[in-house]
Structure formats: C-alpha cells, structure tokens
Amino acid sequence: MKKEALVLAIFLGAGLIWTLLSGQGQTPKIPTVQPWAGSRAEPAHVFPLRDDLDHLVVPTMPYPMPFSTRTSCGPCHAYNTVAGGFHFNAAASRPDAETASRARPAQPWFLVDNSTGTVLPVSHRGWKNTHHPEDLGLSDWEFTQLFGRHLPGGGPSEPGEEGQDRASRWNVSGKIEINCLACHNASPRQDHSEWARQVMRENFRWAATAASGIAEVGGMASRMHGTWDVYDGPNPDDREWAIAPNVKYRAEVFDSRHYAFMDIRRSAGDRLCLACHSTAPAAVVRRPEIDRDVHTAAGLSCVDCHRNDLSHQIVRGYETEARDMGDPFRASLSCRGCHMGEDASGKKTVTPGRLGAPWPQHKGIPTVHFRHLSCTVCHSGPKVDGGPKPVRTARANRLGIYGAALWHTDTPVIQEPVYMKGEDGKITPHRIVWPSFWGMMEGKSVTPIRPEKIRVAAGDVLDPDRRVGAILRALSPAVEPDEIPVLAAGGKILRADVDGRLAVEENESGKTARTGAGTDRTAGKPESAGQAAVTSVWGVMKSGAVNPLVPAVDPEADPNEAAYELAPRFQAVLEALRLVGWAPGQPALVYGGTTYKLTDGFLDMVVPEEDADSEKAADSGPALGWLAEDGTIQPLVSDFDLKNAVQVAGLEQALTEEQVAAILARLAESGSAAASGENPSDPGTAAVSDGVGKPTGDPAKSEETRTPEDGTGGNPNPDPRAAPAQQIGEPVYISGGRLFRLDAEGRLKASRHDAAEPAFWPAAHDVRPAQQALGWNGCGDCHSAGSSFFFAKVEGAGPLLTDKIERRRQSAFMGLGGLFQRVFGLTFAVRPVLKFVLFAAGLLIAGILLAAALIFLGRATGLAAREKG
C-alpha cells in the first residue's frame, strides 16, 4: 500500500512539475469567450444606464450620477473579460526583462517636462529603453493624471485598493473605468476632446458620460477638497470656484423607463480610433497635403484588420503575431498573410485575399528582400528621402484635442522612419524617441530623477526665457495697441508667445538695432563664458520696425525738459513692470543720471549728487532695471537669463550647456549634502556663480503644472514629489543620445551610454500606394552610394542646445556594415554594363548552341550530307 502511495505521489508530483514548467514562457493565451452564434446583425442598444453602485440612473432626478460602464455594459459584455484586452491590460503584471525584450514593442507613453528638458519613455510593459512607472515613482494616480487624456480607461486608471497611495484623490475623482463608448459609440456627439478636458479636471468618474455626448458635465473635482465624496453632492457654499462635478442628461436620449438609446456599434468608425492613434509628419501644416492610408482609401476601416472579439485581444497585424499569441487565425491578418497567403515562415498556409487584398506582383524584386525586410519597409510611413523626419502622434504629442487652447506639443520629437531589426529579425521601419532626463549614475546604471525634483534643485537656472517673456507680457499694456513689446538681442527679435515663452521674429532691423537708444546693454563675459557678448534693446515693434521702448532724445536737448516730455511713457512702463511676478524689487528707470520710480502710484525722481560719475551717467541713455534694497539698480534680466534665453529662443531646444552644467553642479551639491546629512536648502551659489548670480526669483513657484487658463484648474493640494533631489550617485543629464556629466574641472563632458539609447517601436501606417513604394523607381531607391535608406543620418534630438549629439547612419541601426552597403551600392552604378555583358554573352552562346543543335539534328537524322565510307 505504501509503495502504491509512493508511486502515486511521484506521478502526481511529476505531473505538477510538468504543468508548472510547461506553463513557463508560453505565449499569452486569449481568454475563452462565448462562441459567436452567427448573426451578423447589430442590436439596437436601448438599455438602462446604471451608476457605479449599480443604481439606475434617472436623468430627471436632481444631481444625477454619471453612468458606469462596468454596471451598464457589464451585464451583457463581461467587463473582466474585456479588461484583459491589449488596450487595458498593460499594468496587469510586470513582465520580466527577457519576456519584455522578446515582445514586439508599441508606442510607450512619454513623460514630458519642457522646463527641465525631460522626455522619459514610460511603459508598464517593460519594452527596451523604456522606464516602468514604478521605477520612476509614478503612482497610478500620477500616471492617470499625466496620460488619462488618451487612456481608454481601466488598467492603471482603475486601480484596486493597493493602487491608492496617500497623494491620490481617487475618492474625489472616482476611477476611470474602461470607456466602452470611446471606441463603440457611433454618435457624432462622442467627443474625445471633452474626455481630455474632463480627465484634466480630475472628473474621472464623469469623463465617459461627458464624452459620450448624452449629458453635460460641469464642475471640477480638481478644485474639490480632498474629503469631498460624490455622494456629498454639490457644495452649497461655493458656486464660483469649487463647484462639484455635476451631470445634466439630455432628456431626448431616454425613454419613459429611463432607458437610454445609444448608437453603439461593433465598429463605430475610424474617427474614434484616430482620436488616440493619429500620426502625421510634423512638417506638414496643411491638412490637404496628407493622403489617407491606401487601405482606408480602399474602403477598409481600422477594425477590418485590427479585429477582436469580446476578449479585446485586438489583432496588431504583425507577421509573427500568430506564433506569439498562439492563434493561427492572426497569420491571415498580417500584410504577408492577407496579400500573399504566407505565414511568418513563408509557407503558403494562409488564405490570401481577405477583403479583396490584391496579390502583389513585386516585379523585379529579388526574393531575398522578403526574407530580410518587412513589408512596411517599402510601403509604410513617410519616405526616407533625406533621412528620418519628425512626426507627431496623438498620444505623444496630445493631438486631437480641440478647443480654444492649443494642446498639441512639439515634444517629444519622434523620428520616422528609422530602419531597425525587429523582434523577428527583419528590418522594419521604426519610430524612435531619444530620451532626455536628469539622473543619478551609479556604476553603469542611471536612475532618472523626476522633473519636480529637478525644478526645485535647479531653481532660477531654469526658464530664463519665461522670465524674459514675463517682462514682455507685462509691458504689453504700456505700448500702443498696434505695437508689440520686443527684446532685440543677439540678432533676434524676441516677443512673448501665448505660453509666456519667447518667440522669434527674425528681422533685419533687429540685427541692426541701434544700440544707443538708452536701454541697451551688453550681457555675458566673453572671456569667461567663451561666447560672444549679447547686446540687448527693449523695444517695441510696429509694422516690422523696432524702436526703443523708451525713446532716445536729442543729446543736445535739455535732459530735464526731455524727461518731462517722456514722463507719461516712463510711468506707463514702470507701472507695467510692477506686474512681473518674479520681480526682485520695484522697477526703476535711470535716465540722465536720474532714477525714476513709482511712489504711491506717482512718478518719483531721485537726483544724484553731482560728481564726475554722475556727469558720465548723465550722458548715458535710459536704462530699465529693478531697484534693489541697497539702492542699486539691477538689470531687468540677469546676464545669465539674457544669454541663455537668446540662445534657445526660436529653437526646439530648451536648455543650454551652461544651464546643464550649472544644474549638474547643484545636483552634485545637493547629493553630497544629502549624503553628509546636511540640508541642501540653498541650491545655488558657487558652482553657478558665473553669469547666474543670486537667484532672482523662484520659477518653480511661479510655474504651475496646470493653470486655470487651460481650463483644468489648479491642484489645491501641495505636491509631495517636489522634495529636493537627494539621490546618491553622480548627477548626469541625457539628451540627444549622449550622457552629459561634469569632469573634475567642472566642464561638461559628453559620452555614449545605454541609458541614452532611443525608445523605439515599429511603424506600419500610413501604407503608401505602390507607386510611392521604395523600389518603384528601381534598385537605386536603396542601392546606391548615397542612398537615404542606408546612409541617411539619424541625429539625436533633445532639449539641449549642443553639437554633442549622437549621429548614426541608418545602416548602423540595421546592424549592417556601412562600408559594405556603400560598395554594394556602387556596384549598381555598373549594373547596366553587367546586364549588357550578360545579354551579349547569353545571346552568343544561345546562337552557337542553336547552331550546334541544328547540325547535330541534321547529322543524326541524315538530312546533312554523309561522307562516303
């Protein structure tokens, strides 16, 4: 009996071990769902809407609740099954590094902070060169705040109890359930822009209701106190600011039973997909210049290829997906499967021609191309002419959110096409983003530092352009309506843009702006900074001409008389400058040795005692500045601000090398202070003394992440993340494919590093017509000595203005030898000769063979003359 039990135990144990081992490394299984019954009809969706407590939503009741998709859609469509779909399951589990490296990447999220020059690729899926939110300390709450605008709900935006950290406000905002309507509501009222606005107002629970168009949602959860709960109802004491989110349903949507009719369809149109999946070249600013994908033009919709059932494991459409997902059906929905009837290994196991897909002729294309290149290399995305181009995508660059405010951004800079080997070993066009972030390096690993901490540590080193912009914006009331306050400096005419930063008006008069107008000065110390001095003039621009803000007068005229005439202008300018938020003192104007300032709203003059210096000062023109407590006049902007603001104005870069060096020095200081237990409360002096000087204001305080102007409201709660950076290690900055650090002498050094490698993901759309495919014009499209396909340079893009960036040829990304490809390309120049030689040789041999065959036949058949024996 014991023996039998032992055998049984061994058998069961072996079975258990086999089960466990066989489960490892397997492909993700698609959940089993109820089989389709066969009807192709789509049902009318007239159904009761329910709130998240599963109570019927009665639209006529006062303060009705928003509907919940979990309780409204869930009864017919298993919510938890849907939640396992590709759109929602990213945060379900953290994959190990090996599994993640084998997976086919998709576009990650990008944590962008222009002020600190941060562009961090973020993904729960662990794709190469991305950062897991956990590693960045990003909670589900923060992740949802950052990216909820383009999240479809579920996943991290609908966390369980364990995902609710202290800083989160889920109890106020509610969670973002899977928004079924985002993809399935065919009503033209379905509005992604409204979704984004509601998410940014932290109206998470209300976002789906508002975006569906069946109700208006007012109020902002972001302005509600942290103890407010949706069941508390509206705030009777505040009808102006902290208005609780509230819903007003459209009555015509409901019948007498309070059932709602919604135009819900299996495929509700590409418009809804494109809300989150649009892509367009950044250089194209006119919509008519863009063609549609050839599949769309042929009448196909996105979901004709990207199919799914209730499991929502949507077909991504790449060649090896059938193998990866263990679902052979998917092989027929890749380019190769649909058009050629081949699976990933090239076997004709797939039914071709779905939805009328044509058979490609590929005349003159050697088959080696199909073994080493994905279809998308030749057929998809922008053409490679001249190198990869910047493109914008909806999720990265916040496209598709319409309203008075412009939401789209230039960062992150996404480059396409960059040809790299995909996870299947085939060369595939990719989109890439070079990361840029601050970090602490220990050994070979770099740990990113959150932008909030950098902002605190960097202090006034950041945002010099904002400080200049703030002055220009403040000066607007002091000039005529047809005039624009400008700063002419460094050959550029700078004006404030709508975001308070600087825009450039390139103008010849700016380059030759008169420097004797009174408010000009020279900034910078060329001998120490190694840069040219920056001469600046505060002025006004009218009809393209720039004149001094405070006009110069005839030097022969009586200064007192001239000052009397200009007094109204002085007063207007000084009053305007009082509105500058970061001003270190009250504004003052020095003219003819006299200091003008405002005292109780009146223009006041301080006349100096007469001496040699005052006589010299009397000869100088008007100069604006800030009156310090010690009575000295400081310039409107520091030399450091002026120099750095001018350098980056009008460029996509936001930081200069000088700024980066200064911030690295401050980080090193705060890091060593943290290591020694000191309080690094004064983050800026020694290391940035040159050109920076004493902080003139705290831009971190003046800058709100979100402001009331953009319709999202501000967060009334303090940000606990903005504690000073106290990591241990060497501070570094990554930008443009290089890692920057300070050497022993405090100079900025650049080097290559794995952490600076770009995030990448394959691109498949838009598919171009055959005539625009690579190879249409012949082999020379790719095989030539100067072909863009192999030799176009991919340059590291980043917020740092520097020439120390990574530059690689496409062939390097492909893992191919550049020299060989160049030689191979050269051979195509002599290929016509080879063809002629082959043709001539073949013709000659064929002729001789034909003659010999005729002779042979003639002699064999006796038709030819016989010799006499």
Partner 1 sequence: MFTTISIAAFLGLFFALTFHRFRTTRPQSDPSGKADASYLPWLSTRTSAWLKTLRAAPLKDKWRASPFHKLTLLDKVLTAGLLGSFLYLAASGFLAAFFIGRGLYGAPLILHVMAGGIFSVCLAAVVFREAARFQAPRPSIPPEPPAPDRNRSVTALIKLPPLPSPQSVRAGMFWIFAAAGLALIVSTLLPMLPWLNTRGQVLMFETHRYAALVSVLAAVTFACLSAFGKPNDP
Report the interface residues with partner 1, using CB under 8 A.
340, 360-368, 370-372, 778, 817, 820, 823-824, 827, 831, 834-835, 837-842, 844-846, 848-849, 851-852, 855-856, 859-860, 862, 864, 866-869
Using the minimum distance from each CB to partner 1, give the nearer residue, 676 or 771: 771
Strand runs labelled E in 524-601 = 534-542, 545-548, 586-591, 594-599
Cβ(124)–Cβ(139) below 8 Å: no
- C-beta separation of 527 from 559 below 8 A: no
Residue 675, number of CB atoms within 10 A of its CB: 12
110, β-bridge pairs: 121
CB of 836 to partner 1, least distance (A): 10
From residue 290, give the alpha-carbon distance in Å to each of 286, 385, 599, 766: 8, 17, 59, 10
Nearest-approach distance from CB 367 to partner 1, in angstroms: 5
DSSP run (H or E) holding 626: strand 623-627
Question: Quick one: DSSP state of residue 557?
Answer: S
Rounded least distance, CB 853 to partner 1, Å? 8
Q: Smallest distance from the beta carbon of 322 to partner 1, in angstroms?
A: 21
Question: Toward partner 1, which CB reaches closer, 404 or 833?
Answer: 833
The first and second tokens of residue 173, run together, are: 């905002």
| Main-chain phi, psi angles of 440, to 5 degrees | -115, 125
Name the minimum Å distance from CB 421 to partner 1: 13
Largest Cα span, the chain: 142
Minimum gap (Å) between residue 807 Cβ and partner 1: 25
Cβ closest to partner 1, residue 6 vs residue 823:
823
Q: Which is nearer to partner 1, 366 or 677 (CB)?
A: 366
Extract the tokens encoding 335: 């380019």
The packing angle between helices 559-577 and 464-475, to 10°, is: 120
Residue 290 or residue 838: which is nearer to partner 1 going by CB? 838
Beta carbon nearer to partner 1, 307 or 421: 421
Residue 773: CB minimum distance to partner 1, A: 13
* Residue tagged 């069941």 (tokens): 231
Q: Are 172 and 145 within 8 A, CB to CB?
A: no
Please calculate the CA angle 324-326-329 and round it to the nearest 5 degrees: 105
544 or 858: CB nearest partner 1: 858
Q: Are 588 and 626 in contact (CB under 8 A)?
A: yes
Half-sphere exposure of 313 (CA within 13 A, CB side): 18
- Using the minimum distance from each CB to partner 1, give the nearer residue, 299 or 364: 364
What tokens appear for 184 in the block?
């399935």
Q: Which residues of 139-156 are buried (b: 16+ CB within 10 A; e: fewer)?
A: bbbbbbbbbbbbbbbbbb
Contact 493, 485 (CB under 8 A): no
**Nearest distance from C-beta of residue 324 to partner 1, angstroms:** 22
Which is closer to partner 1, CB of 78 or CB of 779?
A: 779
- Assigned token pair, 633: 């006049």
Nearer to partner 1, 532 or 837 (CB): 837
CB proximity list for 525: less than 8 A, separation 6 or greater: 639, 690, 691
Structure tokens at 151: 């999240």
Shortest distance in whole angstroms from residue 25 CB to partner 1: 24
Distance CA 775, CA 469 (A): 50
Q: What is the bridge-based pairing of β-strands 800-801 and 655-656?
A: parallel
Min dist CB 320 to partner 1, Å, is 18
Q: How far is CA 527 from CA 53, 56, 530, 638, 690, in A?
A: 71, 75, 6, 18, 11
Amino acid at 31: P
Q: How far is the CB of 292 from partner 1 (least distance, A)?
A: 27
Contact 697, 690 (CB under 8 A): no
Q: What are phi and psi of 606, to 5 degrees?
A: -120, 110
Residue 443 beta carbon to partner 1: minimum distance, rounded to whole angstroms: 37
Nearer to partner 1, 282 or 365 (CB): 365
The dihedral of CA 749, 119, 698, 666: what is its sign? negative
Looking at beta carbons only, is 350 or 457 nearer to partner 1? 350
Structure tokens given for 165: 């950290």
Query: Cα 430–431–437 angle (5° rounding)?
Result: 130
**Of 569 and 831, which has the nearer Cβ to partner 1?**
831
Sorted by sequence, the CB contacts under 8 Å of residue 260 that are 6+ apart come out as 46, 47, 48, 49, 214, 253, 254
DSSP state, 537?
A: E
142/724 Cα distance (integer angstroms): 19
Q: How far is the CB of 366 from partner 1 (least distance, A)?
A: 6
Are the CB atoms for 419 and 802 separated by under 8 Å?
Answer: no
Query: Closest approach of Cβ 380 to partner 1, in Å?
Result: 19
Q: Cβ closer to partner 1: 480 or 867?
A: 867
Give 360 or 491: the residue with its C-beta nearer to partner 1. Answer: 360
Closer CB to partner 1, 241 or 856, in the complex = 856
Residue in this structure with the two tokens 């709900």, named with its chain if needed: 153
Distance CA 26, CA 326 (A): 9
Nearer Cβ to partner 1 (10/846) = 846
Minimum CB separation of residue 420 from partner 1 in Å reads 18
Distance of CA 161 to the CA centre of its chain: 30
Which CB, 75 or 778, lies closer to partner 1? 778
CA-based Rg of the chain, rounded to a whole angstrom?
A: 34
**Nearest distance, CB of residue 775 and partner 1, angstroms:** 10
Residue 868 Cβ vs partner 1, minimum distance, rounded to whole Å = 7
